[in-house]
Chain A
Amino acid sequence: MSTRKISLSALLFLVVYVVQEAFVTQLHIGGGGFSLFLIFALLWAALSTPDIGALTGFVAGFLIDLSQSTNGAVGQWTFVLILVGFGISYLGLGYENVRMNPFTITLLVTGSVVVARVLYVLLTLLLGEEVGSFISIITSLFIGALWSAAIVPILMPLVARAYDFIDDSRHRL
């Protein structure tokens, strides 16, 4: 990867992270709402190769771990998003009908958000932390999935354009 790609990607991730922390967390959205940054990172990973997907997961996870609203140990989200970032980019690799189809990308990213959050809960349980009642977790996961399904189609064209611009590639999303 060139210096241009790395610096532009890092800047974009930082901007979305600040927007998430400064603005999205201010909106009192029902059921816990959504994480714009998480959706953005998984969309980015979905458009990338598995190597870049894992790297994207690492950077995004580390930034989420540094967020003041994340109470778990630093590294938890990093671990989860490396696996999910790698997984989501691996699933779409070589299958242009998956990667170029807005519907399958929406499905893939929404599913990945749910999988990432489930993995985070499981990891939290393994580390002996409290995660709340089963009902509240299921409700939060369900509402989070609905929000993601609503946000991904809106965010997708912007992320695809930004990705094309930075990567000098051409996605037809």
Chain B
Amino acid sequence: MARGGDNRGRLLLIILVITSLFLITLDLRGVSVIGGLKTGTQSALSPVQKFGSTVLSPVRNFFSDVIHLGRTRSEMEALREENGKLLTQLRERRSIDAQLEQLQGALDLAGKAEFKVVNARVISQGATTSFTQTITIDAGSDNGIKPNMTVINSYGLIGVVKTVYPNSSLISLTSDPSFRIGVRVAGSQQIGILSGQGTRKGVLQLLDNQSTIKVGDILVARGSVNNRPFVPGVPVGEVTSVDNAAGAVTQTADVRFFANFSAISIVSVVLKGPDADPRDSLIPVKPMPTPVPTVTVFVTPSQSPSPNSSGTD
């Protein structure tokens, strides 16, 4: 390859590298100038992001839908006819209705648990430049949001407030690899630690080696001191498989989070938790099969006619 530059070029490279290392050091030491720069950037970009969110709302899930096309082909076939009718009716209002539905669900959950919440719209979702799972919402410190507050939606726990700006907040999702939460198995009261894995699946590690867990068990948040970062009782996920390795000290299990992180548009930030632990009262009720009415018909065989009943004698 070609010779790349003279001494001046090398000097520039060294200066730039040293500057970047200096920036890393300053940030890790918590120098407020760096934090202020980031806050300033976010404050400046927040209105543009809100505009982008509004403009792209109708096509937001286009790429996701395309990718999952094969997986849901059979389901789509069944829904196509129904979807055609709905599209005609809801073309203009689909986006708003979806947000309204999520908002209603979140409010139902918050109302049931007696949480004081502030609702917010998701204005940005993650980035390829970061391996973390985050979303940005359009409510911030001006709305009473502080770091380490619980974030929920209609399905349960979404994440926790990581950074707060005046008009927006960065939320670390439960699927984030660095996310850890103390959970309780509904019913049995066993406790464990649930870790995010970067996908919709998390890993639960029980704390007690005498405890056992089974597929289908529901996990709820254990809660933190003063309800921060986690308010108690919020549904988190369901156990999908259990690892019964003989050498393991405690049991581990795979957990599927209730929330679908790729389709979040409305969330609620819990400003104030309940006075009393709601225990298992927030767990979503499993859909009950609709009873199908059955009709039982009893048929009594009539007496067989005798050969002489024809009156031909």
Contacts and interface: CB of A to CB of B under 8 A. Distances in A.
A69 B129 contact: yes
A86 interface: yes
B161 to A, nearest CB: 13
A67 interface: yes
A22 B26 CA distance: 28
Nearest to B1: A91
Contact of A66 (B2, B4, B41, B49): B41
A136 B177 contact: yes
Contact of A58 (B5, B20, B24, B127): B20
Interface string A53-65: 0110110011011
Interface stretch (A3-11, A121-129, A152-160): A121-129
Max chain A Cβ within 10 angstroms of own Cβ: one of B4, B21, B28, B62: B4
B198 A82 contact: no
Given A30-B64, A54-B13, A129 B178 contact: yes
A30 B126 CA distance: 12
Interface residues of A, number: 65
Given A22-B52, A75-B23, A29 B64 contact: yes
B134 A69 contact: yes
B199 interface: yes
Interface string B155-189: 00000001101001010100011100000000000
B127 A136 contact: no
B124 A21 contact: yes
B197 interface: yes
Contact of A25 (B67, B126, B170, B197): B126
Interface string A111-155: 000000100110010010111110011001000100100000000
A78 B41 CA distance: 16
Interface stretch (B53-61, B224-232, B294-302): B53-61
A117 B131 CA distance: 9
Given A21-B124, A25-B124, A27-B59, A75 B48 contact: no
Interface in B44-100: 45, 48-49, 51-53, 55-56, 59-64, 66-68
A49 B5 contact: yes
A94 B3 CA distance: 8
Interface string A15-58: 00010011101111111111100100000000001110011011
Contacts of B172: 71
A55 B41 contact: no
B17 interface: yes
Contacts of A50: 4-5, 9, 13
A82 B199 CA distance: 31
Contacts of A33: 63, 128
Contacts of B285: none
B51 A78 contact: no
Given A72-B130, A83-B17, A28 B1 contact: no
Given A75-B21, A75-B23, A83-B17, A28 B263 contact: yes
A162 interface: no
Given A50-B5, A75-B23, A26 B38 contact: no
Interface in B256-308: 262-263
A76 to B, nearest CB: 6
Interface in B187-206: 196-199
B63 to A, nearest CB: 4
A51 B9 contact: yes
A25 B64 contact: no
Nearest to A130: B178
Given A74-B27, A137-B198, 6 more contacts: A22-B52, A27-B59, A74-B26, A120-B131, A133-B198, A140-B198
Interface of A: 18, 21-23, 25-35, 38, 49-51, 54-55, 57-58, 61-62, 64-79, 82-83, 86, 89-91, 93-95, 117, 120-121, 124, 127, 129-133, 136-137, 140, 144, 147
7 contacts: A21-B45, A22-B49, A50-B5, A51-B5, A66-B41, A77-B129, A133-B177
